[in-house]
Amino acid sequence: MKQKLVFLDIDGTILDQDDVIYDSTREALDLARKNGHRLFLCTGREKYAVYSGVMDLGFSDGVFAIGAHVICDGKTVRHTPFTNEMYLKAVEVLKRHHYMYDLEANDKVYAYEVMREPLPYFWEWLTSGPYEIVERDPERLDNLDKISFLGGDCPPMELLKELGPEFHISPFVYRNVWQGGEIQRKGVNKAYGIQAALDYLGADIADTIAVGDSMNDLEMLSYCKNSIAMGNATDYVKSKASYVARNIKDDGLYWAFKDFGLI
C-alpha cells in the first residue's frame, strides 16, 4: 500500500476525556508506522502543551495551535500568529463580556491567577509546560497563535460579531459546565496547517487521512482525501466525515485504521 499521511487530533481521538491512551490506540499507531505510513499530530494545542504520554507514542511533527504553527522534520515550516492589533482587539472584547482566557503563544502560555480556583484541571494543563502568570495583558504580543476562553455573559459565537472578519471561533464546552471556545485568525485552521506540511514534503492531498472528533476538526475532515470521525464525536462532526469510527473507548482508532488498510 502506498504511504499515507495521517493527521490525528489528540483529545477525543488519541486521548479519552480522562487522558487515557488505550492499548489498542498504541498498537494501531505502532503498526501503521511499521507499515510505512507517516503520522502527524493535528491539534489545537501548542507542541509544548501536548501531554507527554502522547509524545511518547512516537510523535515529533505536526500541525499545532489549530494550524498556526506547523513543524516538520523538527523545524517550523509555517507560523501564522495574530498581529498585535488583533491580539489587543480580542482581549478587549473578551474582557467586555467577562470571559476568563489564556494567551497561547508559540513559546509559552500567559495564564491569569483568576482561573486557578474555578478551573483546577484547566489550570493544571495551563501550567504543565512553559507559562507565565500575569496580572494584566502583556502590552504587546507578536507570537500569539490563539486564545482559549471560558465563562462569559454571552454565547461564544456572539463574540464573533464583535471581533469581526479577521477572526474565527471554534466553540467548545469544558467539562459539560463552562461554555467557551478558541479564537484564531480567520483562515488559519487545521486544513491550512496540513497544506503547509504537504507543501514542505512535496506530498499529494490524495494520500491524506484526517482523524478527529470536534468542531476545530471540521476543516481538516473536509480537506483531506479521506476523513474519519470518531464515534464519540457529535452528529454534526460525523456528518462531515467520509467514515465514522467506533467510540474511542471501543477501540475506535484501531478498527478505523484496519478498515482503511493502514494496519
Domain boundary among 124, 159, 185: 185
If you average pLDDT over residues 142-155, what whole number do you get? 95
Q: How many CA atoms, within 13 angstroms, populate the side-chain half-sphere of residue 22?
A: 18
Residue 128 has what pLDDT?
87
Residue 19 domain boundaries? 5-79+188-259
For residue 205, what is the domain's CATH number? 3.40.50.1000
Cα Rg of the chain (Å, integer):
18
> pLDDT over 70 for what percent of the chain?
100
95 with 142, same domain: the answer is: yes
Interhelix angle 252-259/23-34, nearest 10 degrees: 30
178 with 193, same domain: the answer is: no
Number of structural domains found in the chain: 2
Distance (Å, rounded) from C-alpha 171 to C-alpha 155? Answer: 9
Residue 126 has what pLDDT?
87
100 with 139, same domain: the answer is: yes
If you average pLDDT over residues 127-149, what whole number do you get? 95
38 with 65, same domain: the answer is: yes
If you average pLDDT over residues 124-146, what whole number do you get? 94
Domain boundary among 185, 202, 231: 185
Domain boundary among 151, 185, 219: 185
Distance (Å, rounded) from C-alpha 97 to C-alpha 151? Answer: 9
Residue 18 has what pLDDT?
86
75 with 200, same domain: the answer is: yes
Residue 172 has what pLDDT?
81
Averaged pLDDT score across all residues of the chain: 95
